[in-house]
Structure 1
Amino acid sequence: MDCAKIGKLILQLRREKGLTQRQVAEQLNISNKTVSKWECGLGCPDVTLWEDLSTILGADILKLLRGELIPNCPDVGKIDRARFYVCPTCGNILVSTGKAAISCCGRKIDSLLPASDTTGHDVTAEESDDEYYITLEHDMSKEHYISFAACVQNDRVFLYRLYPEQSPEFRMPITKRGGILYLYCTRHGLLRYPFLI
């Protein structure tokens, strides 16, 4: 561990939060001299303090340990670069509009890559008034089902959560033509369809 780098990062984050050394020390039940020592690079926090320190400073523990925060590239508004993530532990669905460091249940999650073959996952879309009625030909058993559908159109993402033993169908508003439909099958992974109605 590079105590000098870690100390500079602690100082930066503390100032961003508008906290004094005394306020950080009080929340950690340590002396403010200890916080000063860290910020001067003369020592590092004890392992028992890292979790609370990351909460107080609003930073990831791993980033604190490395002593640096590397920002992602700015979101340039290309919603068609949306990425999808599914936590293998709890099943949470997460979406980013660009490259991101995503974690859930204490584990880093990689973005899903669309499968090349969509055979057996047929989609039907019918226009009805001001919305599309989309149905999927797919098993919805507890062992094999569509977990979510996402429609990426222009400047928005419509995300629909589906559950086992539920009908594989949903409705979405009609917007400009074009876009991409994503389905996440619990057995076959992420599926990508050009969505031109």
Structure 2
Amino acid sequence: MDCVKIGKLIAKLRKEKNLTQRNIADALGIQNKTVSKWECGLGCPDISLWPELSTILGVDMKQMMEGEITSNKPDSGNIDKVRFYVCPSCGNILVSTGSASIFCCGRKLERVLPTVATIAPKITVEEIDTDYFVTFDHPMTKDHYLSFVAYVKSDRVFLNRLYPEQSPTCRFPITTGGKLFVYCIKHGLSVYSGNL
């Protein structure tokens, strides 16, 4: 470990969070001169302190231990690059519009990629007032259900969370030319392009 590099990063992150060395020390249950030593490059945090320190500073522990935070490339504004992530532990659904490091329940999540279209659920679309009313021919049991449906168009993502034993339906504002993403907990992500 490069203690000088890590110390500079800790100081930078601490200042970004408007924290004092004493704030960090009190949160970790250590003396504030210990934090000062780290920031001067005269030592590194004990291994037992890294998880809590990374939480306090709001950064990935591995990158902090390397002494540098890798930034993602700026979002180019192309909503077609939308990515979905599903936590295998708690079922959280996370969305990014470009490459990202997404973590949930202590694990780095991988992007959910679309599956073969032959296993995609059959859909029926009705126009009701100013919305599409979409119905899916899909079971909604505790072991096999649609977790989310998202309609992506232009600069927007309309996300509907679905639950077991709920009706497999959702509504979206009428906007033509979008893509419909449907996630089944057993079969993965399916994509429908073009007009609903």
- What's the TM-score once normalised by structure 1's chain length? 0.92
What is the CA deviation profile of residues 54-101 of structure 1, one whole-angstrom value per residue up to 9, with x for unaligned ones? 233222222211211111111121112110011111111111111110
Q: Deviations over 1:15-53 (max 9, x none)?
A: 222333233223333223211211122211012222332
Counterpart CA distance in 2 for 1:29 and 1:116 is 52
CA contact (8 A) 1:118 1:191 kept: no
Paired residues, number: 196
Q: Secondary structure at the match of 1:151?
A: strand
Residue 172 of structure 1 corresponds to 172
Q: 1:127 Cα shift?
A: 1.1
* Matched position secondary structure for 1:68: coil
Contact 1:153–1:179 (Cα < 8 Å) also in 2: yes
The equivalent of 1:188 in structure 2 is 187
Counterpart code for 1:84: F
Structure 1 residue 158: Cα displacement: 0.7
- The residue type equivalent to 1:168 in the other structure is P
CA RMSD of aligned residues (A): 1.5
Q: Which range moves more in the overlay, 16-25 or 98-107?
A: 16-25
- Identical pairs, percent: 60
- Bigger drift between 105-114 and 12-21 goes to 12-21
Instruction: Name structure 2 gaps, 5 residues minimum.
Output: none
Q: Partner residue of 2:161?
A: 161
Equivalent residue, structure 2, for 1:22: 22
Shift of 1:120: 5.2
TM-score, with normalisation over the residues of structure 2?
0.93
SS, match of residue 118 in structure 2: coil
Matched-pair contact (CA < 8 Å) for 1:121–1:136 = yes
Partner of 2:62: 62
Distance 1:189 1:74 in 2: 28
Secondary structure of the residue aligned to 1:118 is: helix
User: 1:121 and 1:55 mapped to 2: Cα distance?
Assistant: 40
Counterpart amino acid of 1:179?
G
The equivalent of 1:146 in structure 2 is 146
